[in-house]
Structure 1
Amino acid sequence: MIIRGRVRGADGALIGAAALTLIDVSGRQVGRAVSEVDGTYHLDVPAPGSHVLIVTAQAHQPLANTVLVGEDVSEVDVVLTGTSGLAGVVRISGGRPISGAAVTLADTRGEVVGSRITGPDGGYVFEELLAGAYTLAVSAASFRPVALAVRVPETGRVSQDVELAGGGRIRGVVRAGVHGEPVAQARITLVDAEGAVLAATTTGADGDYVFEDVPEGDYTVIASGYPPAASALRVGAGNHNRHDVELNY
């Protein structure tokens, strides 16, 4: 008793080196084979009856089929669905690639199927994905995180570049007096170019303050608590800006 046939892809291409395992109704392995270059295979079966044929191949989804083995030769062709890939580049909006960005891929149930860190070229790659809908989340220090819906096809690699908006950081120390002593509990306000207050904070015990995730643009930093002091600065996307403030008595 023999099972024979060919292993093909969904596009009709013949698949060699596919692993075929035959198990009986109790789950015991009764046969195993590997397909030839032309996709052909044959399995010797010790007894007729109902069996399960399991087929796996690189870059394809595994398949399990119930087959009924007769007294002679059973012809069973197998069609495997290919897996796909997702790749892209993470960049600053309209600018350079971002290395060290965390790229996470989750399925429709919210389960994480993989995560990558972008290289010097800002690139990432996910291989051997099943077709379907996914959520691609990208984050990097000093940039706003982004989440995108992507759909992976049955075969091939889909491209999805991602742009992150800065997200700069402003950090500094407020000092006063002849010796430049740090000023604690000073109120620091960040005002944008249109005069709108973007954020406010209070200095710590060492006079330090920080504003995170500041969009690119021109700003005024106002320190109060003593006679107020105002100073201007420009924040670039993803930049860390040092901006100390001097207060006069």
Structure 2
Amino acid sequence: MTDSAGHPVTQATLTLVDRDGRQCALARSAGDGTYTLTPPPSPSYTLVVSAPGHHPRAVRLTGDPGPPATDVTLAGVGGVRGTVRQERTGLPVHEARVTLLNPQGKVVAAALTVADGTYTVPDLAPGDYTVVVSGYAPVAARVAVAEGEARRVDLRVGRRTPAQ
């Protein structure tokens, strides 16, 4: 079990699921990323792998009876975090809505700032995003998130817009 840089992924949960969706075996990866599972008697099954800070993965396995000799690579998740402040005063903005859009304009995630103006949007796939703060004079920023990277995007907003 490794990440995309070749480092071992420890404490990953590995589950073998048979064709009928029943759990057949469960294990955790060791400190060096190795794991041991006893496969079901069926000729095909699915290996489901998840680990904190990584995207889950499912791998279809078929063939010979005996323990699977499968090396699984997990991609790390990224995120965006930052602070929203008033443009004129520099004071933090509480409960500002921060929204992330993909390049096609689809909303993929949103968060509210907390009392100190900070926000966090975790578990993002690598890619380009537009970060927008709603409820204030329009402000947006572009950010590129790489695998396993938490990018910082601080924003300054103008006057609050009236509720419609």
TM-score range, shorter chain: 0.7 to 0.9
Q: Distance in 2 between matches of 1:221 and 1:131?
A: 46
**Equivalent residues in 2 for 1:143-154, closer than 5 Å:** 143-151=54-62, 153-154=64-65
Does structure 1 retain, via aligned residues, the 8 Å contact 2:15–2:23?
no
Q: Distance in 1 between matches of 2:133 and 2:77?
A: 22
**Equivalent residues in 2 for 1:73-92, closer than 5 Å:** 89-92=1-4
Does structure 2 retain, via aligned residues, the 8 Å contact 1:189–1:223?
yes
> What one-letter code is carried by the residue in structure 2 that aligns with 1:132?
P
5+ residue gaps, structure 1, are 1-88
Q: Distance in 1 between matches of 2:7 and 2:147?
A: 12
> What one-letter code is carried by the residue in structure 2 that aligns with 1:181?
L
% of aligned pairs identical?
34
Q: Which residue of 2 aligns with 1:79?
A: none
Q: Which residue of 1 aligns with 2:139?
A: 229
5+ residue gaps, structure 2, are 160-164
Secondary structure of 2:35 counterpart: strand
Does structure 2 retain, via aligned residues, the 8 Å contact 1:101–1:139?
no
**Is 2:27 the counterpart of 1:114?**
yes
Change (3 A) 1:98 1:248: farther
**Equivalent residues in 2 for 1:15-164, closer than 5 Å:** 89-92=1-4, 95-100=5-10, 102-106=12-16, 108=18, 109-117=22-30, 119=32, 123-126=33-36, 129=38, 132-133=41-42, 134-151=45-62, 153-155=64-66, 158-164=68-74
**Equivalent residues in 2 for 1:142-221, closer than 5 Å:** 142-151=53-62, 153-155=64-66, 158-221=68-131
Does structure 1 retain, via aligned residues, the 8 Å contact 2:79–2:120?
yes
TM-score, reference length from structure 1: 0.52
Does 1 or 2 have the higher relative contact order (CA < 8 Å, sep 6+)?
Answer: 2
Q: Going by fraction, where is strand more abundant, 1 or 2?
A: 1
**What does the per-residue CA deviation read over 1:83-128, in whole Å, with 9 as the maximum and x for residues that have no partner?**
xxxxxx3333xx5445335032335442544222452xxx42316x
Aligned length: 154
**What does the per-residue CA deviation read over 1:22-53, in whole Å, with 9 as the maximum and x for residues that have no partner?**
xxxxxxxxxxxxxxxxxxxxxxxxxxxxxxxx
